[in-house]
Amino acid sequence: MNKLFVRQLEKARGSTGEVDLDALGRLVSAEYEQTAVDRRRTDRSISQMIEELDQLNRELEGVVKERTGQLRQREQEFHAALENMSQGLIMFDASARVVVCNERYMQMYALSPEVAQPGHTLRELIDHRLANGTFAGDADQYTEELRAGIARDDTSRLITELADGRTISVVNRRMANGGWVATHEDITERRDAEKKIAHMARHDVVTDLPNRVLLRERLGEALASVKRGARLGVLYVDLDRFKAVNDTLGHPVGDELLRMVAQRLRGCVRQTDTIARVGGDEFAIIQADIEGPQCTSQLAARICDAIRAPYEIDGHTAIVDASIGISLSPDDSVEPDTLIKNADMALYRVKAEGRGTYRFFEPEMDARMHARRKLELALRSALANREFEVHYQPIVNLADNTIASCEALMRWNHPDLGMIPPSEFIPLAEEIGLIVQLGEWIIRQACNDAMQWPEHTRVAVNLSPIQVMSTNLMPVVVNALAASGLSPGRLELEITEAVLMQNTEATIATLHRLRNLGVHITMDDFGTGYSSLSYLRSFPFEKIKIDRSFVKGMDSGEESEAIVRAVAGLAQNLRMTTTAEGVETERQMEQVRTLGCTEMQGFLFSPPVRVRDVDRLFAMERRSQAGAA
């Protein structure tokens, strides 16, 4: 019998042991009812659960679909990113097996997709690279060091040189799973460019010689390794007349000349010496480990000879000279900068004293340099301090012995140093660019002074080459004339051959404009330079001044006399006035008059005098004319 029914029967049995059928019926009925409720409840809950699970299932399917789509898209994006990288990328798992690898990586190392496919080991890749020549080195050592580096650092970098010459930068980044990602970048071009830039920073572009920076470094190194008892020479080489070559034949020719000079210098020095280009036309040489100064002077002489030989460039022939300044270590200094400075100073002296040779540094050069610097400072303030004066030297008409004109000559009356001769301060003023201002000042002063003189007398002012080239010469002259009220016909501007040697076309144009203004243009010191007749043809000068050396020379030889005669004759034919400079004796005066000169200038008549003394000379002249009348 059913266990429950037995229990129900038991429960329905009364105290007498008889079964109460009503009670049993209630129990059985209740159980039926309960079972029915249970069944309905179970049905309901199961269908509810099925519905719920179904719904969940649908949601999950949706999620899976969405995630799958996202995953696929991410995969595509990842693939696109991977394949569009300029670097090669390869990922390894913890056991050094390939997880993923991009096309670029395979290209870099000429690997086939089969070789680089997931699952292959690092060592297998290296073996393939060894075979195809894209790996140089010990494969065991490489893999060992790579694994050790990854175990040690989160990120490790290395640069490898491939057998084919490429340079590859490799960055390995460790991943959380023990594997790593390696990015390989071909940095060959970047490396080359960096090397080139580094080279350019320390070399001259034109000659490929070391530049000043590298010179300084090499000198430091050379000084550090000079053997005991040995010397080191620093030679500063300046090319004379290089600027003229550059200006007349153009920069390409100039550059070629520099290259040829560099080549010749290389031929003069030893392998261990350093040649550098330190400026436009300046070179420096470090002559390391020499026994004595004679080695350096021999080298300097060799260089002078080598440089002096003509250069044939594009059908042109160019000739330059070398001036060389030399300093020695330890004699002059053991400091690189001082050695360079001293060599430069010695070079300055060579240039000041007539180029084309060499000189060793001497301590007094330094003193002179200091003196020059002091003078330079004084000169810069002299104009403001009204330390300049104009002196005038009369030029006399040889026909009637009257003063035809006066040449304005600048004097510097320094409060402490006294009178400083123009030969000292004019070159300095030219060098430091003060000449334009001084020139302007003297033109104005001369025009003003001349206004006090008899109307037939002119005033002559010297123009320096720099002044003529300066664009403000015309306005300066026009303003000076206007301010003073002097007639342009009473102003003479004297230029030397040097003016015509530079920038000829522009210079001639300027001279023409001045001449058109009514100003007279004079060729000064004729005979001291090239004395080329082409200069006389290039511009219609009104006057030629024959240099004092010819006048002086007339006493000792016929050569000078012939020259004076020729020039005077030439001038006469060209309808020019001629002035003989430096006439000091009656005899010289008679000679130049006889030879055809129209004017003379010199101590015989008057030295340069202050303006008030000029006035006195005019007064005397007026009195003598009155007396003669």
3-state DSSP assignment of residue 408: strand
Give, in order, the Cα–Cα distances in Å from 344 to each of 209, 216, 617: 19, 14, 49
Cα 88 to chain center, whole Å?
Answer: 40
Give Cβ neighbours of residue 170 (< 8 Å, ≥ 6 apart).
157, 158, 159, 160, 182, 183, 184, 185
Q: How far is the CB of 52 from other proteins (least distance, A)?
A: 6
Q: Assess contact for 215 and 278: CB atoms under 8 A.
A: yes
Residue 289 token pair: 């480990």
- Report the residue number, 42 or 225, with the smaller CB distance to other proteins: 42
3-state DSSP assignment of residue 181: strand
Q: How far is the CB of 56 from other proteins (least distance, A)?
A: 5
Residue 226 burial by CB count (10 A; 0-12/13-18/19+): exposed, middle or buried? middle
Residue 446 token pair: 């001369």
Q: How far is the CB of 23 from other proteins (least distance, A)?
A: 13
Residue 38 token pair: 């249970």
Q: How far is the CB of 63 from other proteins (least distance, A)?
A: 14
Q: How far is the CB of 40 from other proteins (least distance, A)?
A: 7
Please state the φ and ψ torsions of residue 88, each to the nearest 5 degrees.
-80, 135
- Report the residue number, 7 or 373, with the smaller CB distance to other proteins: 7
- Report the residue number, 4 or 483, with the smaller CB distance to other proteins: 4
Cis-peptide into 330, omega within 30 deg? yes
- Report the residue number, 35 or 112, with the smaller CB distance to other proteins: 35
- Report the residue number, 56 or 319, with the smaller CB distance to other proteins: 56
Q: Assess contact for 348 and 279: CB atoms under 8 A.
A: no
Q: How far is the CB of 55 from other proteins (least distance, A)?
A: 9
- Report the residue number, 40 or 623, with the smaller CB distance to other proteins: 40
DSSP string, 552-578: HHTTT-HHHHHHHHHHHHHHHHTT-EE
Q: How far is the CB of 176 from other proteins (least distance, A)?
A: 22
Q: How far is the CB of 3 from other proteins (least distance, A)?
A: 8
Q: Assess contact for 286 and 234: CB atoms under 8 A.
A: yes
Q: How far is the CB of 21 from other proteins (least distance, A)?
A: 18
How many of the other CB atoms lie within 10 Å of CB of 303? 23
Residue 333 token pair: 């200094």
> What number of H helices and E strands is found in the chain?
23, 21
- Report the residue number, 35 or 401, with the smaller CB distance to other proteins: 35
- Report the residue number, 27 or 450, with the smaller CB distance to other proteins: 27
Residue 177 burial by CB count (10 A; 0-12/13-18/19+): exposed, middle or buried? exposed
How many of the other CB atoms lie within 10 Å of CB of 289? 16
Cα(321)–Cα(242) distance, rounded to whole angstroms?
A: 8
Q: How far is the CB of 15 from other proteins (least distance, A)?
A: 11
Binding site for other proteins (CB under 8 A): 3-4, 7-8, 27, 30-31, 34, 37-38, 40-42, 44-45, 48-49, 52-53, 56
Give Cβ neighbours of residue 529 (< 8 Å, ≥ 6 apart).
496, 497, 498, 501
Q: How far is the CB of 18 from other proteins (least distance, A)?
A: 18
Q: Assess contact for 192 and 100: CB atoms under 8 A.
A: no
